[in-house]
Amino acid sequence: MAVLAIDAGTTGVTAVIVGASGDIVAQGYSEFEQHFLQPVWVEHDPEQIWQATLVAVRAALAASSATPIKAIGITNQRETVVLWRRSDLTAPRNAIVWQDRRTAAIVDELRAQAGLEARVKQLTGLALDPYFSSTKLMWIARNEPAIWADVVAGKVAVGTVDSYLIARLTGGSVHVTDASNASRTQLLDIGTGLWSPELLDLFGVPESALPRVVPSSGVVGAVSTTDLPELVGVVIAGIAGDQQAALFGHAAFTAGDTKCTYGTGAFILQNTGQTAVASKNGLLTTIAWMLPGEHLSETKITYALEGSVFVAGAAVQWLRDGLKIIDSANELSALAEAAETNGGVTFVPALTGLGAPHWQPEARGTIFGLTRGTSRGNIAQATLEAIAFQVRQVFDLFGAEAGLRCTRLAVDGGASSNDRLMQIQADSIGTKVERSQSAQVTALGAAYLAGLGAGVWASLAEIESLVVPELQFDPGAFDQALYERWCRAVELTKEF
């Protein structure tokens, strides 16, 4: 008996079939198009997401031969808003992606109202920023009134990517999202796990258009689409936003457990248990997952603190594609090892602004300390240090904000395969770093949630027994002056 996890990311969809022992039996992948209508506008065609889902799922099913599927879990890019007609599930417009910045003027308008941002953060744990779903919906209402009229009239449904895929899988009969995804819309009261009437009124969103908020684990419906006849009748039993799914995939079930996913950016989450820790230092408070009890009143919300670093693996891509000082990402470690040090070079990779804890999207990257003797290896070492130090800034704040003991940093994502980076990370935070055996931790998290909800696994303890790290990096000696110099460079960068 196995679980199918669908991981609908920002550039493609991965389908993974996970066996009862936690092993990946098969997988499939399909990309979809990115639509850049203007410099800061990013959209996806929902139909292309669905078609990529079908291709990925069919490939995984074909590779797994006769493995029976007990349940389906879904994880997804967060904050992206999707609209679809209830009658035929077609989209009246493209999805507006989490990366999209078109609502900056609306955000500035809201921030100008005294006390409003503080109130929004009190209810949602999130700062006002174009990143989140709320102002994207405001933009549609203001700029596409005919479409919004259909939303208000109940003809068009509103949701995130998870709820759209569930609608497609169930032929439109189920309109739900889980608490982790709902908490990223900036429309949910994270204290109650319910849509907030105050926020819905503020952002002008009718609750009737939104999905019902459900636990992250538990049966919500069954597949009925004839596009996937092999799966008709299989239950959908797990849902989580991608970063929360990765936290679950690492079995980070105890308050203080922390993970970092190194992708284009770096996303660091710490489980804070049943306490929603209000950050005073630029971190986000979010719902990690909501698990059901025997009765709905016993449903328990687990919270997390989150820090989002905009540029991690993207810095390496820039060295390769922009500066062209490496031909592949694999060269970076060898260059850095040959140089041994950064040679006095300090790199602040604010190539798309500064994320947590600074939140300065207008900031620009800087490189300090260049001389005629600076080598490619020095820049390579400085880049690895910059990625690790950005994560350390957030990691240190977790301790200050939540006061929880963290004994390990669980890591995944493409850049986590770089041993030198992981050792620098362990040295700089003074805590062991544990790298996952699997490159599909996010999908595994969705599979675990679904398997828990459908009875494949009986408890969190059983899931925890399935998670074994590939490699551990123990902290060694660290030159604190390096980190302090990098922090000074960040402050100088913010002045430009």
3-state secondary structure the chain: CEEEEEEECCCEEEEEEEECCCCEEEEEEEECCCECCCCCCCEECHHHHHHHHHHHHHHHHHHCCCCCEEEEEEEECCCCEEEEECCCCCCCCCEECCCCCCCHHHHHHHHCCCCHHHHHHHHHCCCCCCCCHHHHHHHHHHHCHHHHHHHHCCCEEEECHHHHHHHHHCCCCCCEEEHHHHCCCCCEECCCCEECHHHHHHHCCCHHHCCEEECCEEEEEECCCCCCHHHCCCEEEEEEEHHHHHHHHCCCCCCCCEEEEECCCEEEEEEEECCCCCCCCCCEEEEEEEECCCCHHHCEEEEEEEEEECCCHHHHHHHHHHCCCCCCCCHHHHHHHHHCCCCCCEEECCECEECCCCCECCCCCEEECCCCCCCHHHHHHHHHHHHHHHHHHHHHHHHHHHCCCCCEEEEECHHHHCHHHHHHHHHHHCCEEEEECCCCHHHHHHHHHHHHHHCCCCCHHHHHHHCCEEEEECCCCCCHHHHHHHHHHHHHHCCC
Residue 147 CB-density burial (10 A; 0-12 exposed, 13-18 middle, 19+ buried): middle
pLDDT at residue 298, rounded to an integer: 63
| Closest residue by Cα to residue 418 from 342, 315, 321 | 315
Instruction: Report whether pLDDT(295) > 50.
Output: no
What does the pLDDT look like over 189-198, one tens digit per residue?
999 999 999 9
CB atoms within 10 A of CB 331: 16
Residue 182 and residue 390: Cα distance in Å, rounded?
A: 27
pLDDT at residue 347, rounded to an integer: 94
pLDDT at residue 64, rounded to an integer: 86
The chain-wide mean pLDDT, for the chain, equals 91
55 domain-assigned: yes
In total, how many domains does the chain have?
A: 1
| Closest residue by Cα to residue 93 from 147, 28, 133 | 147
Instruction: Report whether pLDDT(290) > 90.
Output: yes
pLDDT at residue 5, rounded to an integer: 97
List all residues 6 or more positions away from 105 whose beta carbon is below 8 Å from its beta carbon.
none
What does the pLDDT look like over 396-432, one tens digit per residue?
999 888 888 888 999 998 888 899 999 999 999 999 9
Instruction: Report whether pLDDT(188) > 50.
Output: yes
Instruction: Report whether pLDDT(249) > 80.
Output: yes
CATH code at 56?
3.30.420.40
What does the pLDDT look like over 12-21, one tens digit per residue?
899 999 999 8
What does the pLDDT look like over 350-379, one tens digit per residue?
887 888 888 787 788 899 999 999 999 999
Pairing mode, if any, of strands 194-195 and 235-241?
unpaired
Average pLDDT over residues 345-352: 89
What does the pLDDT look like over 255-276, one tens digit per residue?
999 999 998 889 999 999 999 9
Which residue's entry shows tokens 């995130």?
A: 160
pLDDT at residue 388, rounded to an integer: 96
pLDDT at residue 297, rounded to an integer: 55
Q: Among 46-55, 95-104, 207-216, 325-334, whose mean pLDDT is lowest?
A: 325-334
List all residues 6 or more positions away from 9 whose beta carbon is below 8 Å from its beta carbon.
76, 77, 242
Instruction: Report whether pLDDT(177) > 60.
Output: yes
Better-scored residue on pLDDT, 362 or 300: 300
266 phi, psi to nearest 5 deg: -130, 130
Residue 317 and residue 310: Cα distance in Å, rounded?
A: 13
Residue range(s) defining the domain that contains residue 16 = 2-244
330 domain-assigned: no
Which residue's entry shows tokens 């408890």?
A: 459
398 domain-assigned: no
- Token representation of residue 253: 């079930």
Residue 423 and residue 442: Cα distance in Å, rounded?
A: 23
Beta-bridged to residue 4, according to DSSP, are 17, 72
What does the pLDDT look like over 457-471, one tens digit per residue?
999 999 999 988 888
Question: What percentage of residues in the chain have a pLDDT greater than 90?
Answer: 70
- Token representation of residue 68: 């029976």
170-184, 277-291, 481-495 — which one is most confidently predicted on average? 170-184
451 domain-assigned: no
Question: Using 50, 70 and 90 to split pLDDT, how confident is the model at 285?
Answer: very high
Residue 238 and residue 447: Cα distance in Å, rounded?
A: 7
Question: Using 50, 70 and 90 to split pLDDT, how confident is the model at 170?
Answer: very high
27 domain-assigned: yes
pLDDT at residue 42, rounded to an integer: 87
Average pLDDT over residues 236-244: 96
Average pLDDT over residues 220-225: 96
pLDDT at residue 463, rounded to an integer: 94
Q: How many CA atoms lie within 13 A of 16 on its CB side?
A: 24
Which residue's entry shows tokens 């709902």?
A: 182
pTM: 0.91
210 phi, psi to nearest 5 deg: -90, 155
366 domain-assigned: no
| Closest residue by Cα to residue 440 from 32, 73, 38 | 73
What does the pLDDT look like over 137-146, one tens digit per residue?
999 999 999 9
Question: Using 50, 70 and 90 to split pLDDT, how confident is the model at 222?
Answer: very high
Angle separating helix axes 104-111 and 133-143, nearest 10 degrees: 110
- Token representation of residue 182: 């709902």
453 domain-assigned: no
Contact of 120 with 198, CB cutoff 8 Å: no
pLDDT at residue 142, rounded to an integer: 97
216 domain-assigned: yes
What does the pLDDT look like over 35-83, one tens digit per residue?
888 878 889 999 999 999 999 999 999 998 777 899 999 999 999 999 9
CA dihedral 219, 221, 227, 232 (to 10 degrees): 70
List all residues 6 or more positions away from 163 whose beta carbon is below 8 Å from its beta carbon.
82, 157, 175, 176, 177, 181, 211
Contact of 312 with 262, CB cutoff 8 Å: yes
